[in-house]
Amino acid sequence: MDRQYPDRPWVGVGVLLFRSGDVLLIKRGRPPRLGEWSIPGGAQHLGETAEAAARRELWEETGLTTGPLTLVGHADAIDRQGDRVLFHYTILDFAGRWIAGEPEAKADATEARFVPPDQLARYDLPDDLMRMIERAASLTASGRASLR
């Protein structure tokens, strides 16, 4: 199905994967937001749970897996072209901890890397994503998220 000019929002998932305080970022290789830095994620498939979609997208885009995931929040990504909606995703963001391996850009990612928090400003991330990273980092650091 074509996701441009949708008649309804698409459900998307994102994964905030942490390794020793660094967060995994990917550079998008496809629209929407082609060439921009983000977190691994994509559309949920029919019959797939949101968590399963998050794990699949993480693997497809970076070759990495994670242990337990915790839902940390949601956001709406809406891109307009004039008065029409070009893309609309309701995104569920999960947080997890890195287990092993190095990220490899795969599928629709052209780059993948772990980034220290003090370098995130260099990646021109949207404000809502920065807030989600901060929230996930806070939850994982406080132990309130079940990322054992």
Highest average pLDDT, of 32-36, 96-100, 111-115, 144-148, comes from 111-115
Assigned domain for 99 exists: yes
**Number of folded domains in the chain?**
1
| Each residue's pLDDT tens digit, 47-70 | 999 999 999 999 999 999 999 999
**Domain carrying residue 109:** 10-142
| Residue 147 falls inside a structural domain | no
Q: Is 48 part of any domain?
A: yes
pLDDT digits (tens, 9 = 90+) for 104-139: 999 889 999 999 999 999 999 999 999 999 999 988
CA 8/CA 90 separation, integer angstroms: 10
Examine residue 59 and state whether it is found in any structural domain, yes or no: yes
Residue 53 belongs to some domain of the structure = yes
Of the listed ranges 1-10, 12-21, 25-34, 87-96, the one predicted with least confidence = 1-10
Residue 79 lies in a domain: yes
Place of tokens 């929407």: 32
Q: Examine the pLDDT at 147 and tell me if it is beyond 70.
A: no
Task: Point out which residues pair with 91 in neighbouring strands.
Answer: 12, 75
Residue 52 lies in a domain: yes
Q: Is the pLDDT of residue 146 over 60?
A: no
Domain of residue 55, CATH code: 3.90.79.10
Is 124 part of any domain?
Answer: yes
